[in-house]
Amino acid sequence: MSRRSKGHDYLGWALVATVLLAPLPWGGIRAFFYMLYAVVVAVMGLFYAMGLYRGHVRPRLPLSVFAVPVLLFGLVIVWLLVTLLPLGLLAAPEWAMLSPVAEVAGRISIGPGATFDMLVRYLTYGLFFILALQVAVEQRRAKTLFRVVYWGIAAHALLALALLTYFGDVLLFLPKEAYFGDATGAFVNRNSFATFLAFGAIMGAALIFGNDEEDVSRSRLSRILIQLGFNVAPLALIGLALAFSHSRMGMFVAALGVGLIALLAVFKSTGLRRIVAGMMIAAGLAAGLVLANTGGVLFERMATVDRDADVRLAVYEQTLDLIAARPLTGYGGGTYEDAFRAIKTDPISPDVTFDAAHNLYLELAAELGIPAAVAVVLAVLLLAGTTALAALRRRQNWELPAAAAAVVLAGGVHSLVDFSLQIPAIVLMMLMILALGFAQSRSAQQSAG
């Protein structure tokens, strides 16, 4: 093994350790923890840069390969910086009561501290994704890291079930403040945990239906036992934890992603795998009919104090009013809670606080303005689109690109009614899977190093 290859191996294991430890605790939503992740990722980036300088490693996937997403994301970073500068661009003097500092300085952001935090998170996400791409180009390494991440999510599922049952329904051995009787694992709420588990379910389905060249030399019995032990058993554990999360939207996006993998497997697999894929699709449709007939409403459970549908619609409508007032500039990254508090009206109770819009796209538009919000979403969609095309076109090695596309789909759909992709640990996990799938979508994926 070359020194360059070892360097990428070490970096790959460091990234996997980061993404699996990131949910501890509370999904990294506290400033201390996501700043800690920022330092960890920055140190990894520094060591990688030193390796490049000394010739110990070489970049495997240059930024030019995905230039448009890089450009879009770079423009968003620049815009976040602009909103922090004292340029005299604050559009509405009435916001001075919320942020007198921003008013005096003439900043666009009404909460410079919150915007700086968002800038740090986005820089961390960007660097993490670039580093993950570099380690994911070599096929064997990418598949190994993919499996380990999958088993790590299964370990989180086991921890959640233990915390719910054996340890008396606690949150990382501390008393819960909400979601009693629901599996939340290391996360504060069930819906975010369910998104995390949905990613694992999608990965498990991809491993079950994917063809592994290393299995050719093994006996049929050996392949079946390996499949049951390393792929099916973790998926069953993840599914059990997902059921105990009682997140209907989480179960829906998990079924959506797994169903997409199974549908691809019907056309790309043969023999037993094709039969299993068809049976999984049929089982998913039957489960959906059962839920529909029992009167279940998938969008009923959204993590908020007030679950009344009229209130939720009012939140969306008033968020749209926020966007209409400043459609181009927004109010600054991370400032949704302050901005919404200032305009909140009936039927929303004055005692109810919304620190998230429960719709990622509306929240981004309110905070960053419509152009920057579109740029963020489009950058991710372009990357996911590349993986989706690779999955559709290939007969072999389609599982990692397919899993990446399905994970982005699951996270994106759940973000229509919740705030899972505002949780740092979930974003890092999505980016890790997307990087593995995108790197394996490139024509150079077979090269070593």
Question: Which domain, by its residues, includes 428?
Answer: 3-301+365-446
Are the beta carbons of 172 and 163 closer than 8 angstroms? yes
Q: Look at residue 263 and tell me whether its pLDDT is greater than 90.
A: no
Average pLDDT, the chain: 82
Are the beta carbons of 114 and 411 closer than 8 angstroms? no
Q: What are the Cα distances from residue 48, in Å, to 20, 54, 225, 304? A: 20, 10, 39, 41
Q: What is the pLDDT of residue 228?
A: 67
pLDDT digits (tens, 9 = 90+) for 135-174: 999 999 999 999 999 999 999 999 999 999 989 888 887 8
pTM value is: 0.89
- The Cα 317–Cα 299 span in angstroms is 17
Q: Which of 445, 422, 431 is nearest to 383 (CA)?
A: 431
**Number of domains composing the chain:** 1
Residue 315 belongs to a domain? no
Q: What is the pLDDT of residue 57?
A: 73
Tokens of 185: 């694992």
Q: Of the segments 260-269, 369-378, 435-444, which one has the largest average pLDDT value? A: 369-378
Residue 355 belongs to a domain? no
Q: What is the pLDDT of residue 397?
A: 86
What residue type is assigned to position 281 of the chain? I
Residue 7 belongs to a domain? yes
pLDDT digits (tens, 9 = 90+) for 56-114: 777 778 888 889 999 999 999 999 999 988 876 554 445 555 555 544 457 888 888 89
Residue 275 belongs to a domain? yes
Residue 31 belongs to a domain? yes
174: β partners: 171
